[in-house]
C-alpha cells in the first residue's frame, strides 16, 4: 500500500515557526487534499485540519495547512512546548480506494 | 458530542481470529455520508488504515489486509465490529476506531485498545 512521504523529524525553537511537508501523488494529496493529525505520546490522534486548510472547531489558528500540487504542508507558528508531538498527514487515494497515511514527523521544540 | 470506544481482547494467540467492537455515540450510521474507520498503530510506529464502513453498508479495506478483514455495523446498537483472521505477532498494535464525516477523513477518534498477539 503506497504511503505519503514525510520527514522523520523537525526541530525548531520556542516561539519559532515549523513546517512539516507531506508528498503524495495525483491520486491522493493532489486529488482531494490532505488532512493533518497531531498525536501526543500515549494519546489518540487529533485532527488539526482537513481538505487542505479547514480547521475543526477548537483548533488554534497557529496551525495552518496548505497544498501545492501533490505536496501538502502544515505550518505551526509561535511554537509552544505543548506542540511537541508526532504529526501525520493522511489522504484518500482514489486509485486504491483507500486511506493513506504518512510515516509521521516528530516535532521537537527546543 | 461524538465519542467512540474500542473494546475486545487485549491478548490473542497466533492464528486466532481477533474481534473488536467500536461503540459510538453522538451520530448515527444511518445518516447519509457518515462512516466509521479502523486504524491501527504498532508500538512506536506509524498509523495504518485498515478499513471503513459507510452509512449505506459500503465497505473499503486496506488492499494489503483485505483478505483477512471484515467490518460490519449494527446501526440500532451504534456499534461497528472489526474481524481480523489468522493474526500474527506483527499484528500487535493499538487499534483505533474513528468517525468519518461526510467531509472526508477522521475527525473523532476512540482512545484505542492495545492488542498483543502472543502465544
**Tens digit of pLDDT for each residue in A71-87?**
999 999 999 999 999 99
So what's the pLDDT on residue A2? 55
Angle at A46 between CA A40 and CA A49, to 5 degrees: 125
Give B40→chain A minimum CA distance, Å: 11
**Tens digit of pLDDT for each residue in B44-56?**
999 999 999 999 9
Residues of B in contact with A87 (CB under 8 A): none
**Tens digit of pLDDT for each residue in A30-81?**
998 999 999 999 999 999 999 878 999 999 999 999 999 999 999 999 999 9
So what's the pLDDT on residue A57? 92
The DSSP line for B25-50 is: ESS-TTSTT-EEEEEEE-TTS--EEE
Which residue does chain B place closest to A106, by CA atoms?
A: B46
Higher pLDDT, residue A53 or B23: B23
Amino acid at each position: 500500500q503506497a504511503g505519503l512521504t514525510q520527514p522523520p523529524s523537525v526541530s525548531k525553537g520556542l516561539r519559532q515557526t515549523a513546517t512539516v511537508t507531506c508528498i503524495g501523488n495525483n491520486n491522493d494529496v493532489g486529488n482531494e487534499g490532505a488532512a493533518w493529525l497531531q498525536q501526543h505520546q500515549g494519546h489518540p490522534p487529533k485532527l488539526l485540519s482537513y481538505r487542505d486548510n479547514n480547521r475543526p472547531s477548537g483548533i488554534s489558528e497557529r496551525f495552518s495547512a496548505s497544498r501545492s500540487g501533490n505536496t501538502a504542508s502544515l505550518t505551526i507558528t509561535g511554537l509552544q512546548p505543548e506542540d511537541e508531538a508526532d504529526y501525520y498527514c493522511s489522504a484518500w487515494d482514489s486509485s486504491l480506494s483507500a486511506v493513506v497515511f504518512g510515516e509521521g514527523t516528530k516535532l521537537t521544540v527546543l | 458530542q461524538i465519542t467512540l470506544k474500542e473494546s475486545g481482547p487485549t491478548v490473542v494467540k497466533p492464528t486466532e481470529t481477533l474481534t473488536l467492537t467500536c461503540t459510538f455515540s453522538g451520530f448515527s450510521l444511518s445518516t447519509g455520508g457518515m462512516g466509521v474507520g479502523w486504524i491501527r498503530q504498532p508500538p512506536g510506529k506509524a498509523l495504518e488504515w485498515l478499513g471503513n464502513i459507510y452509512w449505506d453498508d459500503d465497505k473499503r479495506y486496506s488492499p494489503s489486509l483485505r483478505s483477512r478483514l471484515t467490518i460490519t455495523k449494527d446501526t440500532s446498537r451504534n456499534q461497528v465490529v472489526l474481524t481480523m483472521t489468522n493474526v500474527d505477532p506483527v499484528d500487535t498494535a493499538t487499534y483505533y476506531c474513528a468517525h468519518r464525516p461526510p467531509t472526508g477523513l477522521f475527525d473523532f477518534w476512540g482512545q484505542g485498545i492495545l492488542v498483543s498477539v502472543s502465544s
